[in-house]
Amino acid sequence: MFNPFKNPTPTRNEFTTNFNRYATFHLSGTPDSPDCVICTCPCGPKRPRMRLRDCQHDFCSLCFEKWLNSGQRAADKCVMCRKVLFVPDDETDSSSSEAYDSDDSLNALIDRMVLA
């Protein structure tokens, strides 16, 4: 049943273009900052920690970017809980350049966060 108050799952393009709606970044590492669950390295200024807003799982932004762009079938889900993060972009308007543009905008956002 349609719920007008529930946000629909974004497309991949929406997720990567508007990434700050779906995740938060934490640049400073503290002694109690969690290690990245993917690479097990401590998060900090060179490996900013990001938190997915929906499920609250943390990863270093470098590993999450690799996961997102890995091409694996499950790359549309959270690494920890497998919650769906985005749905594939509509195949009918399949402009692969848009997908590259959105990946570039995600990379640019991560670069800005690391350099800040």
Could you give the CA distance from residue 93 to residue 97 in angstroms, rounded to a whole number? 11
pLDDT at position 77 is 94
Q: Is 95 contained in some domain?
A: no
Q: Is 16 contained in some domain?
A: no
Could you give the CA distance from residue 25 to residue 115 in angstroms, rounded to a whole number? 13
pLDDT at position 48 is 87
Q: Is 12 contained in some domain?
A: no
Q: Provide the residue range defining the domain that includes 37.
A: 23-86+105-115
- The pTM assigned to this predicted structure is 0.65
Could you give the CA distance from residue 13 to residue 96 in angstroms, rounded to a whole number? 10
Q: Is 39 contained in some domain?
A: yes
Q: What is the pLDDT of residues 88-116, one digit of tens each?
A: 887 434 444 444 455 666 666 666 655 55
Q: Is 109 contained in some domain?
A: yes
